[in-house]
Amino acid sequence: MAEFVWFLIVLLTLCVASYKRLGLVNTIALTAGVMIIGTLFGDIGWLGWLVFLALAIPLGVSDIRKTHITKKLLAFYKKVMPEMSRTEQEAIDAGTVWWDGDIFSGKPDWDKLHGIPKGRLTPEEQAFLDGPVEEVCGMVDEWEINHKLADMPPEIWEFLKKHKFFAMIIKKKYGGLEFSAYAQSRVLQKLAGTSAVLSSTVGVPNSLGPGELLGHYGTKEQQDYYLPRLASGEEIPCFALTGPEAGSDAGAIPDVGVVCKGEWKGEEILGMRLTFDKRYITLAPVATVIGLAFKLQDPDGLLGDNADLGITCALIPRDTKGLDIGRRHFPLNTPFQNGPIRGEDIFVPLDYIIGGQKMAGQGWRMLVECLSVGRCITLPSTAAGGAKTCALATGAYARIRRQFRLPVGKMEGVEEMLARIGGNAYLMDAVTRFSTVGVDLGEKPSVVSAICKYHLTEKMRQVINDAMDVHGGKGIMLGPNNYLGRAYEGAPISITVEGANILTRNMMIFGQGAMRCHPYVLKEIEAAAKEDRQEQLDDFDKAVFGHIGFALSNKVRSLWFAFTSNYFSSAPFSDDTARYYKLLKGYSANLAFMTDVSMGVLGGDLKRKERLSARLGDVLSGIYLASATLKRYDEEGRLQEDAPMMHWALQTTLFDIETAIIDFLDNFPSRPVALAMKAIIIPFGRRCEKPSDRLEHKIANILQQPSAARARLGDGQYLSREEGSLFGDLEQTLDNVLKCEPVFERICKEKGQKLPFTRLDKLADEALSDGIINDDEAALMRETEAGRLRTINVDDFDHEELIAASAKKQKGKSAA
Ligand SMILES: Cc1cc2nc3c(=O)[nH]c(=O)nc-3n(C[C@H](O)[C@H](O)[C@H](O)COP(=O)(O)OP(=O)(O)OC[C@H]3O[C@@H](n4cnc5c(N)ncnc54)[C@H](O)[C@@H]3O)c2cc1C
């Protein structure tokens, strides 16, 4: 019996050492210490020591371990590890590991999270937001842009160029604005809340494209020539990678450049003949300079021995002979400039390669590196901006619009949608704040940017769907007074661009995350690839035993979490957020444990098991989104008024994390392994609940009642109450309705009738003459009625007005 107790004590010691990640040598030493005590008590005999030494010597003595264990592991590893393509390798190499690394560690460092500085605007950036950004939002007439012109009017184009909207990423020394990523995000949020055409037109030149590529890789001559011209708006850029045969699989572009000699401005020079067919290219129809991606070939060896140099990026001026450019696509009724570009055998100098000849073949690396930054900013920010404006507008509309003699926002069914809109808007803003600060700290967070791109664009799709449902027919009838319909139509655009979402979720987030953020996987790959045999063995030994220790530790952590819900763990705050930190810590250990088991059991097949990979990616993403939300809540002073949104975002995300874990385990191909994992990770079923109806009721109320919390939810959005501003008008009408209601109730009481809240102007006249209300109250009622009607009414048209202008012209011609 005593021997068995000591066996348990030794086992417990190993678990504690593993939980605390003491390392191999310390663990052996600690276990030996416990064994000595057990021996002194007379309860551990020679058999116990024999087992201990049989394990400790081969593991603890480095030479024995390397020769007899590591060598075999290395040989097996080399056999099962799939080959990595060059593009995969470059994607893995691109970017940096940031908070995503902590998430994969199994024990995120919350002090580090809260130590990351808060995003701040410089006075210049704030002035830009309050000045030109506010002004251009006021210039926008969405109906004119979307329906009449199918473009922004010339005065908006000019305004954007004059105020350097296209130059937020260009350095000041070239005449650009050189804004922080955080500031760019705030600008794009505000623009997106007003007009999708405006935000995408501004977003693209500030994202992946000539400006970004030149800034990082351009030669001095290219930078000196192009960057000032891009900053002043003299040049409009676009970037052309996608073609009919290569969309998601962009590395497979069939477009080629063949190195050859040719005549250029009267002289024979070394250049390339380009043949390409590109489509979906944003700004292409109006672009003056095209960033072009193609595969460079050198069959005659004019540059060296390498005949296939690989993907290369060049800048092609619009007036280059043979360029077929100018036609437009029509992306889901959101007519930002987008179209195809084609060229056949176009001869251009080698100097057109971004970065010059030395960067020939480096195009893919350049693209993935820049994408890891751009994907963090443009699409997530436009999604967050859209959601914030939607939250305020839908709350206001739901409070103004009445059915069954009640504001529709007071119906429980509608509250569910309002809560989802508000909670998501809070989370989305939190994520853009956190992630753009990461970029400003110098990170190129490729995994984080894929998380932001996927989840924020998906959440925007949910938000706009919910907003449409709450608005009913008002959202559906297009016209100058519809502020939702085009955003709803255009939602799939952001889902598709910059890496379509199915691919992003199923392949990129976890695929790159597991490689880049896991503390040992990349080290093992790098070690196994070393030329020097001894170095290879030493490095692999370090990585593989680190990895085994890490996996065991996460197993112990997962078990501890399963039985205690991390109740006894520390959290940085002791308020009602403490539980979230503890749960997230547990899920982080679960993620690391599931990752290691999956890689161990499935090896290279995991790459093909996309749906498993997607669910692990969901766990990783969920922990990231939750971390960003907790950080925002803290940065804003842990305000109780904002707590409902924070709780909703956390509870929803934790529920989603658990769903992903359960689905992963239910679908894991090896059932015995899946059951064993389940017993360790989640033996008692779910621990997290979805947000309650009570919590959702609180958020619905916040959205429908002006308050500091509601203002923070829409922070920075264009809500000017100037005439013509649809969102400002909604805000004003909401204020008026709320002020008007007590007056209306008084009239009902005096008249002894329960009147409908309609025709308030007429009611005001009657109540004024009956002496129930005064002049000011009557004026308020009249203004409220006018706003109420503007809010609930929709546009109607003559049949002729709806016929597209070109069709009308056609009709006119045939009549003539
Ligand atoms: C409005 C708009 C603007 C754009 N702007 C530009 C631009 O300026 N420059 C530019 O170069 N490109 C641009 N693009 C191209 C954009 O990046 C591509 O559309 C995108 O990469 C997807 O390619 P595809 O549309 O051909 O879809 P496909 O590649 O045909 O994919 C179809 C579906 O299959 C999924 N899929 C594909 N492979 C996998 C996989 N392995 N696992 C799981 N799912 C997978 C995708 O997620 C997608 O849902 C733009 C596209 C649009 C629509």
> pLDDT (tens digit, 9 = 90+) per residue, 338-397?
999 999 999 999 999 999 999 999 999 888 888 878 899 999 999 999 999 999 999 999
- Please name which of 667, 689, 662 lies closest in space to residue 678, comparing C-alpha atoms: 662
- What is the 8-class DSSP label of residue 353? B
Distance between Cα 207 and ligand 1 center (Å): 17
Selected residue with higher pLDDT from 275 and 606: 275
Alpha carbon distance 649, 642 (integer Å): 11
Condensed to tens digits (0 to 9), the pLDDT of residues 631-683 reads 999 999 999 999 999 999 999 999 999 999 999 999 999 999 999 999 999 99
Q: Which two tokens stand for residue 8?
A: 């348990």
Write out the DSSP string of 270-308: EEEEEEEEEEEEETGGG-SEEEEEEEEE-TT-SSSS-SE
Q: What's the mean pLDDT in 784-791?
A: 98
Structure tokens that stand for 169 in this block: 């990423």
End-to-end CA distance of the chain: 107
Q: What separation in Å is there between the alpha carbon of 785 and the centre of ligand 1? A: 47
Nearest atom within ligand 1 for CA of residue 504: 47
Q: Using CA atoms, how far apart are residues 810 and 630, in angstroms rounded to an integer?
A: 58
Q: How many CA atoms lie within 13 A of 759 on its CB side?
A: 7
Res. 5: pLDDT tops 70: yes
Residue nearest to atom 42 of ligand 1 (CA): 503
Kind plus residue range of the DSSP H or E element containing 257: strand 256-264
Nearest residue (by CA) to ligand 1, atom 4, is 280
Q: Which residue has the tokens 């100018």?
A: 326
Contact status, residue 386 vs residue 193, Cβ threshold 8 Å: yes
Question: Dihedrals φ, ψ of 173, to 5°?
Answer: -65, -15
Protein residue whose Cα sits closest to atom 30 of ligand 1: 247
pLDDT for res 603: 82
- Write down the pLDDT at residue 516: 85
Q: 3-class SS at 19?
A: helix
Banded model confidence at residue 146, pLDDT cuts 50, 70, 90: very high
Ligand 1 centre to CA of 274 (Å) is: 23
How confident is the model at residue 816, as a pLDDT? Answer: 57
Pocket test residue of 88, 277, 280, 337 for ligand 1, highest count of atoms within 8 A of CB:
280
**pLDDT for residue 706:** 98
Query: What local confidence, expressed as pLDDT, does residue 448 receive?
Result: 95
Single out the residue of 2, 21, 8, 1 nearest to residue 548, CA to CA: 21
Least confident of 32-46, 470-484, 724-738: 32-46
Closest residue by Cα to residue 422 from 396, 398, 387, 397: 387
Which residue from 200, 212, 248 has its CB within 8 A of the most atoms of ligand 1, so it is best to mutate? 248
Beta strand ranges found along 520-671 (DSSP E) = none
710: helix, strand or coil: helix
Say yes or no to pLDDT of 409 above 60. Answer: yes
Q: Six-digit token pair at 565?
A: 């819900």
Pocket test residue of 342, 497, 505, 611 for ligand 1, highest count of atoms within 8 A of CB? 497
- pLDDT at residue 58, as a whole number: 92
What spacing in Å lies between the alpha carbon of 363 and ligand 1's midpoint?
Answer: 19
Protein residue whose Cα sits closest to atom 24 of ligand 1: 247
Give the distance (Å) from ligand 1 centre to CA of residue 772: 64
d(CA 474, CA 359): 53
Atom 7 (ligand 1) nearest CA: 281
Could you write out the DSSP letters of every residue in 146-204? IIIISS--HHHHHHHHHTTGGGTTS-GGGT-----HHHHHHHHHHHHHH-HHHHHHHHT
Measured by CA distance, the residue closest to atom 23 of ligand 1 is 247
- Residue 469 pLDDT class (50, 70, 90 cuts): very high
The Cα 134–Cα 719 span in angstroms is: 9
Supply the pTM of this predicted model: 0.96
CA 444 to chain centre: 14
783 CB-near residues (< 8 Å, 6+ apart) = 736
Cα-to-centroid distance, 279 and ligand 1 (Å): 11
Taking Cα atoms as reference points, which of 172, 88, 785 lies closest to residue 368?
88
Phi, psi (rounded to 5 degrees) for 36: -60, -45
Provide the mean pLDDT of the chain: 94
User: What is the Å distance from ligand 1's center to 502 Cα?
Assistant: 10
* Number of alpha carbons in the 13 Å side-chain half-sphere of residue 228: 6
Q: Do 246 and 238 meet the contact criterion of CB atoms below 8 Å apart?
A: no
Residue 340 host element (H or E): strand 338-349
- Choice between 708 and 807, residue whose per-residue pLDDT is larger: 708
Q: Confirm if 424 and 380 have CB atoms less than 8 A apart.
A: no
- What residues line ligand 1, using a CB cutoff of 6 Å? 238-242, 247-248, 280-282, 331, 338, 493, 496-500, 502-503, 506-507, 610
CA dist 140 and 114 (Å) reads 39
Listing DSSP states for 745-762 in one string gives HHHHHHHT----S--HHH
Q: Of 413-427, 537-551, 594-608, which range is least confident?
A: 594-608
More confident residue, 276 or 6: 276
Residue of 503, 504, 606 to mutate, ligand 1, most atoms within 8 A of C-beta? 503
In this prediction, residue 117 carries a pLDDT of: 97
Q: What pLDDT sits at residue 364?
A: 92
Mean local confidence (pLDDT), 760-789: 97
For residue 260, give the H/E element and its range: strand 256-264
Q: Residues with Cβ < 8 Å from 464, sequence gap 6 or more?
A: 386, 390, 484, 487, 488, 491
DSSP 3-state of 63: helix
Copy the structure tokens of residue 82: 């799939």
Write the residue with the smallest CA distance to atom 40 of ligand 1: 503
Q: Which atom of ligand 1 is nearest to the CA of 242?
A: 11
- Cα dist from 220 to 217, 225, 231, whole Å: 9, 8, 16
Token pair recorded at residue 223 = 């930078």
C-beta of residue 341 within 8 angstroms of C-beta of residue 323? yes
The residue whose CA has the least distance to atom 11 of ligand 1 is: 241
Instruction: Say how many Å lie between the CA of residue 157 and the centre of ligand 1.
Output: 28
| pLDDT for the residue numbered 371 | 81
The closest alpha carbon to 95, from 459, 378, 365, 425, belongs to: 365
Looking at ligand 1, which atom is closest to the CA of residue 507? 42
CA torsion 373-378-379-382 (nearest 10°) is 150
How buried is residue 800: exposed, middle or buried, by Cβ count under 10 Å (0-12/13-18/19+)? Answer: exposed
Rounded Cα distance between 756 and 480, Å, is 28
Whose structure tokens read 């429908």? 704
Best substitution site from 197, 242, 283 to test ligand 1's pocket, by max atoms within 8 Å of Cβ?
A: 242
Mean pLDDT of 188-201: 96
Q: Ligand 1: distance of its center to the CA of 683 in Å?
A: 40
Indicate which residues carry an active-site annotation: 498
Environment class of residue 332 by beta-carbon count within 10 Å: exposed (0-12), middle (13-18) or buried (19+)? Answer: middle
Which ligand 1 atom is nearest residue 244's CA? 26
Collapse the DSSP code of 342 into the 3-class scheme (helix H, G, I; strand E, B; otherwise coil) and give the result: strand
* Residue with CA at minimum distance from ligand 1 atom 44: 503
CA 521 to chain centre: 25
Atom of ligand 1 at shortest range from CA of 331: 1
pLDDT band at 814 (very low <50, low <70, confident <90, very high): low
Q: Tell me what pLDDT residue 724 has.
A: 87
- CA–centroid distance, residue 496 to ligand 1 (Å): 5
Kindly calculate the radius of gyration of the chain based on its CA atoms and give it in whole angstroms. 31
Residue 806 has pLDDT above 90, yes or no: no
Give 388 Cα–ligand 1 centroid separation in angstroms.
Answer: 27
Higher-confidence position of 603 and 397: 397
Distance CA 145, CA 140 (A): 8
Q: What is the pLDDT of residue 40?
A: 92
Q: Which helix (H) or strand (E) holds 563?
A: helix 533-564
pLDDT single digits (tens) 63-111:
999 999 999 999 988 887 767 777 777 777 778 999 999 999 999 999 9
Q: What was the pLDDT predicted at 38?
A: 92
Of 37-46, 267-276, 417-426, 701-710, which range is least confident? 37-46
Residue 720 burial (CB < 10 Å; 0-12/13-18/19+)? middle
pLDDT at 462 over 70: yes
Q: Among positive and negative, which fits the CA dihedral 275, 276, 277, 283?
A: negative
Residues 580-601, mean pLDDT to the nearest whole number: 96
Q: Which atom of ligand 1 is nearest to the CA of 502?
A: 47
| Atom 36 of ligand 1, residue of closest alpha carbon | 503
Q: Residue 813 pLDDT > 70, yes or no?
A: no
Q: What is the per-residue DSSP string for 497-519? A: SSS-HHHIIIIIIHHHHHHHTST
Please identify, by atom number, the ligand 1 atom nearest to the C-alpha of residue 204. 8
Structure tokens at 683: 């033996």
pLDDT of residue 812: 66
User: For ligand 1, what atom is nearest to the CA of residue 249?
Assistant: 29
**Which residue lies with its CA nearest to atom 27 of ligand 1?**
247
